Amino acid sequence: MRINLAKSAGFCFGVKRALKIAVNTAKTEKNVCMLGDIVHNEEVVKLITKSGIQKITLLSCGKSKTLLIRAHGACRKTFAKAKKLGYRIVDATCPMVKEIHKIVMEKEKLGFQIIILNSLHKIKKACVVAQSTQNFDKVKKVLKIIKAKIKNVKFFNTICRPTIIKQEEIKKMPLGNDVMIIIGSKNSANSKRLYEISRNLNKNSYWIGSENEIKKEWFNNAKSVGITAGASTPEPAIQAIINHIRNYSSKD
Ligand code: SF4
């Protein structure tokens, strides 16, 4: 059985950057915490926690503490609250997400209603941005509807480059492979979108987090398997799954 790994599988540059910042911060600072998960992957969160960064769900007194802001950013209120509570802030927000925030703030000042693919009542002029890992084809469809209802629409394609590349690949791979494996945590929205696109094109598509979830019967009569992985899936997880599939396909 041939195994075809997507070129874009796994970490995007925003995730790599956030993890580098996290590891450096853990080395140089004491009492480092992160609000929620740094990226949407359990293994990565475990590793980061091991490096000494504590995961918190609520902000408390921030005196002598450092707060790490995750790859997908935090709202203005969280930044303001953290500063007020005395945290030193280390911002690992992906530059692509920062870019979305910048567009929204600029256009809001100019009187635009901001639409993050949301409701459309009585709006005269609208600025539309998309969350950075949205399905581009769906965004185009929604934009068409918005344009039919609102006269003055400014659309900024804020879907990030790594997501576009992953989606381009996943529109082709399911057609050229008997089975498709999408690797990523169940709380990873971008992995979910890759799976949805793949499943629409090839019903033998499976979304898994680790090799333990693989079922041998998925590969019955399969000559080729395509593999891709979400932006927060670490390389060792991808390799473990490839080895697992390779191992038992060679035993047949
Ligand atoms: S998926 Fe895109 S926006 Fe999100 S961290 Fe990666 S590069 Fe940045």
| Cβ-Cβ contacts under 8 Å for 20 (sequence gap 6 or more) | none
Domain's final residue, options 112, 129, 159: 159
Range of the domain at 192: 2-11+162-251
Domain's final residue, options 109, 137, 159: 159
Could you give the number of structural domains in the chain?
Answer: 3
155 and 206 both lie in a single domain: no
Which one of 16, 19, 21, 96 would you pick to mutate in the ligand 1 pocket, going by the greatest count of ligand atoms within 8 A of its CB? 96
* 134-147 pLDDT per residue, tens: 999 999 999 998 89
Residue 72 has pLDDT above 70, yes or no: yes
Q: What's the pLDDT at 76? A: 87
112 and 146 both lie in a single domain: yes
Mean pLDDT of 47-73: 92
149 and 224 both lie in a single domain: no
- Measured from the Cα of 133, ligand 1's closest atom is 1
Other beta carbons within 10 Å of 178: 18
Q: How confident is the model at residue 151 (pLDDT cuts 50, 70, 90)?
A: confident
**pTM for the model:** 0.81
Residue 249 has pLDDT above 90, yes or no: no
69 and 83 both lie in a single domain: yes
29 and 88 both lie in a single domain: yes
Joined together, the tokens standing for residue 152 give: 């003055």
Residue 108 has pLDDT above 90, yes or no: no
Q: What's the pLDDT at 251? A: 56
136 and 112 both lie in a single domain: yes
Percent of the chain whose predicted confidence (pLDDT) is above 90: 73
Q: What's the pLDDT at 120? A: 56
Q: What's the pLDDT at 199? A: 98
- Measured from the Cα of 18, ligand 1's closest atom is 5
Domain's final residue, options 131, 159, 187: 159
Q: Is the CB of 130 under 6 A from ligand 1?
A: no
* Type of residue at 74: A
Ligand 1 midpoint to CA 154 (Å): 22
Joined together, the tokens standing for residue 242 give: 């490839």
Q: What's the pLDDT at 252? A: 55
152 and 227 both lie in a single domain: no
Q: What is the CATH number of the domain that holds 197?
A: 3.40.1010.20
Residue 15 has pLDDT above 70, yes or no: yes
Residue 117 has pLDDT above 60, yes or no: no
Percent of the chain whose predicted confidence (pLDDT) is above 70: 96
Q: How confident is the model at residue 212 (pLDDT cuts 50, 70, 90)?
A: very high
151 and 208 both lie in a single domain: no
Q: Which of 164, 75, 167 is nearest to 116 (CA)?
A: 75
Provide φ and ψ at 224, rounded to 5°: -145, 145
Mean pLDDT of 161-175: 96
Q: What is the CATH number of the domain that holds 86?
A: 3.40.50.11270
* 187-198 pLDDT per residue, tens: 999 999 999 999
